[in-house]
Structure 1
């Protein structure tokens, strides 16, 4: 296995996973948390 080929690929994978988690959190996590919490009903 070549280290020079794996390094940028793994770095790209980490960035992609980080961005996917960030987008998933804001698109699905926040509205679901608001619906579950329902601050307007308090």
Structure 2
């Protein structure tokens, strides 16, 4: 999966994953849509 991404550093990708997880937690808590979804970046 990483090979299909544009030139993104491991740390940047990890940060996106963390944002995605945080967004999912927020979504489950508020019943809304989480922010910072990886697929929305780029």
The number of equivalent residue pairs is 26
TM-score (norm 2): 0.53
Runs of 4+ in 1 over 6 A off after TM superposition: none
More helix by share: 1
Q: Which has the higher contact order (CA 8 A, sep 6+)?
A: 2
Kindly state the Cα deviation for residue 10 of structure 1 after the two structures are TM-superposed. Answer: 0.4
Give 5+ residue unaligned stretches, structure 1. 30-42
Which has more radius of gyration? 1
TM-score (norm 1): 0.53
Provide the aligned C-alpha RMSD in A.
Answer: 1.8
